[in-house]
C-alpha cells in the first residue's frame, strides 16, 4: 500500500490537507469539512478521511 500524508493544522478553523508523496499530488480542503475524499490519479485510489475531535470519539462497537 502506498503511503499517504494527512495533516490537520492546529487552531479553531482547521482544514484538512492530504498528500500522496509518491506521485507528488496534494489537496487542501477548507475548514468546516469533517469528511473529505482525496483521489490520486497516479495510484488510482480514492481515500476518504473523517476527522474527529478526541472528546467526540465513541466506540463504534456500541452501535446496534
Q: Is the pLDDT of residue 2 over 80?
A: no
**What's 50's DSSP letter?**
E
pLDDT tens for 11-41 read: 766 788 999 999 999 999 988 777 899 999 9
* Domain range for 21: 5-62
Nearest to 22 by CA among 46, 37, 5: 5
C-alpha 48/C-alpha 62 separation (Å) is 23
Confidence (pLDDT) at 57: 62
pLDDT at 62: 62
* Res 8: pLDDT: 82
> How many domains does one find in the chain?
1
Strand partners, 36: 49
Rounded CA-CA distance 14/55 in Å is: 16
Please tell me the pTM assigned to this model. 0.70
Amino acid at each position: 500500500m502506498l503511503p499517504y500524508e494527512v495533516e490537520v493544522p492546529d487552531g479553531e478553523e482547521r482544514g484538512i490537507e492530504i498528500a500522496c508523496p509518491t506521485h507528488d499530488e496534494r489537496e487542501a480542503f477548507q475548514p468546516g469539512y469533517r469528511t473529505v475524499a482525496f483521489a490520486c490519479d497516479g495510484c488510482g485510489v480514492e481515500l476518504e478521511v473523517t476527522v474527529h475531535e478526541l472528546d467526540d470519539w465513541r466506540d463504534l462497537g456500541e452501535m446496534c
